[in-house]
A and B are shown apart, each in its own frame.
Chain A
């Protein structure tokens, strides 16, 4: 019995499944149900433990349809790694029951769907705009909103909090001190804004305002051909740009049914793991800076520069590399590159040991982080935590192990798991992950596979320059692919990779044209950061600052 049949049997015991439509498309299980059944079914799944993670909620707009919106839920089970996509059709002005009482983590995802499409979620206590500014009129991801229609904003909102069921967030308590931190504040990394009410130094109430770096990635993806979206993905999590390239290309490749050659897989694994290392360098380094320890940052940046040099050798660019293409890599590795990577690994190994002495053995660092603002495993799952933060809370979930891709199952590495979910554990997990990543890179580099670095399908990959200039066939193929574009079959797919911050998912809807019809990113830190006001409640203000940096919120993927 397949997973879908099992699901069908499960649901028919409890629900009238006459209106439910089960299907299996491009390897994903899909369940289409009427919108009033969404909340009961979600609750049922959660209660019986069929799916423990609500990964994503998003909307899709089909203006020609009577019920123009799809509300899409992505569920994940950490037990067996299975996934389910649930879809319901909603008309303009209709509302869906909010999932916030079932999964806390539905909060910001529903607000985003409201902001982008105008889909209403009844029962959501705080359904406001989240990414666009408060003077913005309209819903930008609807198909009838032009991508370049800007609307000016001429003021910032004063300090405000989330509405709860009992009280309004706009009314401040006059016995407490309201403070505003950011967006221009050293601990807020440039684009985050936290507002808090303090009793002495204790945070009584806090809230986050995001969207200061909302660069309309998803709208840009809809207006560009598939391969031109790759540079935009670089700028999602710019601390580890190649990982986003890989995540996006893997999604498109799966939709097209393309298997990339072993060499491309190996190169992608190396790039991903190098990115994981440099992402954790930023996280650990700036985490130290926010706590007043500048040395580790400067020290770690030396190693980051070395990785930049490796990237430059491979593609000429340092930070935003755009090195993958649909079907493989943009170019082959230069001679001796794998040996350079191996030499770096050796240096980095010593560097990580030094840093762990500097940071996690440091008495002040331990006192500032150990036992501070812990998050339990249940809370973390309910919020939709993934990646190092989830593992720090003691949940052993890593997509490289649960749903291996690119030969991760053949590689020898361990997944570090914390115990208490406090800030200290998060840094411990990150530092250990750096060591494991180095192990992975060494295994791949010692024996890199030969062969081609990309597939040679003329309808997908551009021919090499020597063919374009050298023979008529190459020239024609090049012309056709540039003019006609890469065209995946109509359909939709959700694919996820284990990025440095957690599960980076791409939900891609194709209508068979040269541009994606809809591309939704499931950014890991979006789910994590929404828990911030609850995590720091009752903590000291200085602990709240430490919490922000330990969450490693990257505005590029948070706001997109």
Chain B
């Protein structure tokens, strides 16, 4: 839902003064719902944490690089500190050894936070049906968007980010996020 579509229309039941005030405000301001404008801000200022572990990390460099330029989507401020990031870009194979680290990084991120799983390995283990590879990072963290490919082209990653932006703007419910529990929590 874009900002313009949530502008409230004047109610006919309101008094003359009210209408006058509304016309006045329309000339220099717009009205919207608070949550819609917040979502609009969020979707256009994603700060990604590039969790690049393998080949996809190299393609992620291309996404950030001069030709594909993620900055056009407002997500170029790459932060390696989870405290400053709100989008976890899991780019590459997550092994069993890496999984506890990934969960710890995810837990350190502040709300609202989103996860994008880039590539076949991060999404499902890919063609590594192997003894040391986690069969998809959604086994340990809640994933919002899966981007297929091995590795995905930068266009596919941009499309994934745009999908995530749509999800944020429409405030789509995320039960996978709400019901998520830390798989390593013993208590």
Residues of A that sit less than 8 Å from B by CB: 131-133, 136, 140, 145-156, 183-186, 189-191, 211-216, 219-220, 231-232, 234-235, 238-239, 241, 282, 298, 301-302, 304-305, 308, 318-320, 555-556
Contacts and interface: CB of A to CB of B under 8 A. Distances in A.
Contacts of B150: 320
A136 B95 CA distance: 12
The 6 closest A-B pairs by CB, nearest first: A216-B130, A238-B55, A133-B97, A301-B65, A186-B80, A190-B53
6 contacts: A133-B95, A154-B183, A190-B57, A191-B54, A211-B132, A282-B61
Q: In this complex, which of A151, A212, A320 has the most chain B Cβ atoms within 10 angstroms of its Cβ?
A: A212
A153 B99 contact: yes
Q: In this complex, which of A132, A184, A185, A234 has the most chain B Cβ atoms within 10 angstroms of its Cβ?
A: A184
A213 B105 contact: no
Contact of B100 (A155, A234, A235): A155
Given A184-B105, A301-B61, A305-B67, A154 B132 contact: no
B86 interface: no
B95 A190 contact: no
A186 B49 CA distance: 10
A147 B101 contact: no
Interface residues of B, number: 40
Given A239-B58, A308-B62, A150 B131 contact: yes
B112 to A, nearest CB: 20
A212 B97 contact: yes
Interface of B: 51-55, 57-59, 61-62, 65-67, 80, 92-93, 95-101, 104-105, 121, 127-135, 150-151, 153, 183-184
A148 B54 contact: no
A213 B131 contact: no
A191 B53 contact: yes
Contact of A320 (B65, B97, B134, B151): B151
A134 B125 CA distance: 21
Contacts of B133: 150, 215-216
A190 B131 contact: no
Contacts of A184: 51, 80, 101, 105
A541 to B, nearest CB: 17
B132 A216 contact: yes
Contacts of A147: 129-131
Given A189-B52, A239-B58, 9 more contacts: A140-B131, A147-B129, A211-B97, A215-B121, A216-B130, A216-B133, A234-B55, A308-B62, A319-B59
Contacts of A155: 100, 184
Contacts of A148: 129-131
Contacts of A234: 55
Q: In this complex, which of B61, B66, B100, B132 has the most chain A Cβ atoms within 10 angstroms of its Cβ?
A: B132
A154 B58 contact: no
A320 B80 contact: no
Contacts, number: 141
A212 B53 contact: yes
B48 to A, nearest CB: 13
Nearest to A154: B184
A151 B131 contact: yes
Contacts of B184: 154-155
Nearest to B104: A156
Contact of A282 (B58, B93, B98, B132): B58
A216 B51 contact: no
B130 A213 contact: no
A235 B55 contact: yes
Contacts of B127: 220, 231-232
A231 B57 CA distance: 17
Nearest to B108: A184
Nearest to A224: B127
Contact of A215 (B52, B104, B132): B132
A149 B98 contact: no
B148 to A, nearest CB: 14
A231 B96 CA distance: 22
Contact of A302 (B67, B128, B151): B67
Nearest to A145: B131
A318 B105 contact: no
B150 to A, nearest CB: 7
Given A238-B58, A301-B61, A140 B132 contact: yes
A215 B130 CA distance: 7
Nearest to B150: A320
Nearest to A146: B131
B98 A213 contact: yes
Contacts of A189: 52, 57
Contacts of A301: 61-62, 65-67
A302 B183 CA distance: 41
Q: In this complex, which of B58, B62, B104 has the most chain A Cβ atoms within 10 angstroms of its Cβ?
A: B58
Contact of B151 (A146, A150, A319): A319
Contact of B131 (A185, A216, A231, A556): A216
Nearest to B139: A152
B65 A305 contact: yes
